Amino acid sequence: MRHSNFIPGCLMRNLARNALIPLAFCAVCGITDLRAQLSPAEIMPTGALVYVEARDLKSMLEGWLSSPEKKRWQESRHYQRFQNSRLFLKLTSRAEQFAVSAGFPILTEQLIPFAGRQSALGIYNPAEQEFLFLTELSAAERQILQLFRNKSRFEVRAQDGFTYYRNNQGGRMVCFAEIDPYLAVSTQEDLIRSALSLRKSPASRTSLARTREWQETMSSQESSDLRIFLAMGSLSEHPAFRREWLFGNAKELQPFQSIRNEIFFSSAQVREKRLLVRKEKLAAVSGSLPLELLERYSPNHQTYLLGYAAPELEPLATRMEQLLWNPVPLEHPGPPRPAAPLGYQELMEAYRRSPFEKSIDEPESLTEPSEGKSGTRPARPKLVQILASLGLQAVLETGSVLSPEDSPFHFTSYAFVLYAPGSANLSSEPLRGWIQDEFARLYTVSGYPGTWRRKVLAQVSYDTLETDAGLMPISVARIGNALVVANSEDSLRKILLTFQAGMPPRFFTTREPPALSLFARLEFREARDSFLRWQKALDYLQKQNAEEYSEPLFFSEDLGGLLQSLVRLQRVTLQRQTATDGVREEIVYDSLPRP
């Protein structure tokens, strides 16, 4: 798997899109515990594309409903705008149909009593929201539910000695049954009947827990608070998935047959562990991330760090061109820089071309994914050739927000550490030539290349391109086993001093650190403030050019509202291990303890 295009943006974007979770959680989401006579997965019929299981749905739901994050989220512009989206309206329409058949409105207050302890949700058709929900409730708790009080509205049916109830009056099937110790609710009669058959004959091979994909993927010994199973082999072929998957990485998920996601909650941390099982094993893996690269070249107080082994050269060259030459002002905005790659206008057009809101209600045959342009131009061959000559083993990227003393702007600075131990071509001269050429092409009419100035810090020399264009000067140096290039002299100097200091291990303190293919860390508190300033700049530019009100760029009001809701979140750290049979990831969300 290739690293994400922009880790801070990716994390913020995923959090924004995951804002759908609270609604879905309240509407249908469920979960499981291991104390039951049969686990919910043993009663869940095969064919579930998505399966969610947790130990105590009641406690989780009550915690969310009483949280200050929920209150801030519902007061944000993000929530207000989400309520007017086509996705929300589509879910609301389906919930209304369900409510007519069930005999009571599908609102949070009415759903709270349905939140039992061990619970599970299997989704069989995402486009039609076909599901089977199991939740552990005592007989007394079931009888006081409004669903049971409305039993006279339902037809009574039998299956394998059990009784179940069905109603289709609202154009939406609702079925329910008591499958001790669970209450089962479904939108499909066949699913209820299959679950009853499995309760009578648990050794049957027609349960989800008996499938090969489940047994290869879900054999974890840890007891998580929440776990998710995705049948990727089938899910990735589903038109609704290809059309409505919000994270933009559907193509990257195609090599995997199934995914396990386990989540562990504590007072100041959420830990997420993922396993992605491949359809076909790789012949070999590309290598691991050298610990020296993280420990010796990563300065403290960076907004984000991203290290990855065996980099793909063309994506790396494209990232370097975009980030080094396109610093975005975060306050007191002026006009966008002319001719900068992936500039303001291109990003605005990319947002307007986004198919999700337009296609969510279109027929599936009209919304097949296209293999069109990605919105970014290919990297220039010269930089790709330079990177190829280095024999790179790994790359470290850093980014931070700078406020120069002589400038009214806040800039995001970026640095690339190109790690190539043993390389005979580890010279900064080719990079300096490329930088001069790009500066002359992007920012000058006459072809003026700027002037290199040699400087020395801690007995190490580095070169800085000085110009009269008002840009932050790009600096280059060879530091140990790496070439470092940064679009601010301050960033390069921090990396150099960190390397010279020989600091003790900061990321891995165990004797045998994991062999990683990727490591990423986002300091969320700084990223939150930076994004909100960036949002103001972009919205200012948009209002200056818009004749009438239009959608904010990049869901900026949505992201801003969500980021302000998650005020306790401080840091996100991701570690990835790549093996021949799959990929393992661990993501840790650190936050301030709740007062």
| Residue 22 domain-assigned (yes or no) | no
Segment holding 432, helix H or strand E: helix 429-443
Residue 315 and residue 178 share a domain: no
Which domain, by its residues, includes 162? 31-210
Residue 314 and residue 206 share a domain: no
d(CA 102, CA 167): 7
Is residue 187 a contact partner of residue 131, using CB atoms and an 8 Å limit? yes
Residue 190 and residue 77 share a domain: yes
Residue 398 and residue 306 share a domain: yes
Residue 237's pLDDT is 79
Whether 559 has a pLDDT exceeding 70, the answer reads: no
| Residue 570 domain-assigned (yes or no) | no
**What's the helix, strand, coil split of the chain in %, to 5?**
40, 25, 40
pTM over 0.75: yes
| Residue 453 domain-assigned (yes or no) | yes
| Residue 355 domain-assigned (yes or no) | no
d(CA 122, CA 29): 9
Q: Express each pLDDT in 16-42 by its tens digit.
A: 333 333 333 333 333 333 334 688 999
Is residue 333 a contact partner of residue 541, using CB atoms and an 8 Å limit? yes
Asked which of 464, 494, 514 is the last residue of a domain, the reply is 514
Asked which of 464, 496, 514 is the last residue of a domain, the reply is 514
**Could you tell me which residues come within 8 angstroms of residue 252 by beta carbon, excluding any fewer than 6 positions away?**
1, 2
Residue 296 and residue 204 share a domain: no
Residue 302 and residue 192 share a domain: no
Confidence of residue 81 (pLDDT cuts 50, 70, 90): low
A 10 A CB-CB count for 16 gives: 21
Asked which of 456, 485, 514 is the last residue of a domain, the reply is 514
Residue 301 and residue 163 share a domain: no
Look up residue 184 and give its two tokens. 């089962």
| Residue 522 domain-assigned (yes or no) | no
Residue 556's pLDDT is 42
pLDDT mean across residues, the chain = 76
Q: Name the 3-class secondary structure at 341.
A: coil
Single out the residue of 518, 355, 369 nearest to residue 4, CA to CA.
518
Distance of CA 456 to the CA centre of its chain: 41
Residue 158's pLDDT is 92
Residue 184 and residue 298 share a domain: no
Residue 304 and residue 203 share a domain: no
Domain count, the chain: 2
Is residue 195 a contact partner of residue 177, using CB atoms and an 8 Å limit? yes
3-state secondary structure labels for all residues of 497-543? HHHHHCCCCCCCCCCCCCCCCEEEEEEHHHHHHHHHHHHHHHHHHHH
If you average pLDDT over residues 574-580, what whole number do you get?
93
Q: Express each pLDDT in 94-151 by its tens digit.
A: 777 777 777 666 666 667 788 889 999 999 987 778 899 999 999 999 988 888 888 8
Q: Which residue has the higher pLDDT, 273 or 243?
A: 273
Phi-psi region at 159: left, alpha or beta (left = phi > 0; alpha = psi -120 to 50): beta
Q: Express each pLDDT in 375-387 by its tens digit.
A: 445 557 899 999 9
Q: Express each pLDDT in 312-358 by its tens digit.
A: 999 999 889 888 886 544 433 333 333 333 333 443 444 344 444 44
Distance of CA 167 to the CA centre of its chain: 38
Is residue 38 a contact partner of residue 199, using CB atoms and an 8 Å limit? yes
| Residue 360 domain-assigned (yes or no) | no
> Strand 162-167 and strand 256-266: pairing?
unpaired
Residue 318 and residue 186 share a domain: no
Residue 423 and residue 329 share a domain: yes
Segment holding 456, helix H or strand E: strand 451-457
d(CA 476, CA 79): 45
d(CA 172, CA 166): 10
Residue 411's pLDDT is 66
The position carrying tokens 């309760």 is 199
| Residue 272 domain-assigned (yes or no) | no
Residue 296 and residue 202 share a domain: no
Q: Express each pLDDT in 518-528 by its tens digit.
A: 999 988 776 66
Write the single-letter amino acid at 360.
I
d(CA 196, CA 134): 12
| Residue 111 domain-assigned (yes or no) | yes
Residue 527's pLDDT is 65
Look up residue 351 and give its two tokens. 């947002």
Look up residue 155 and give its two tokens. 């037809």
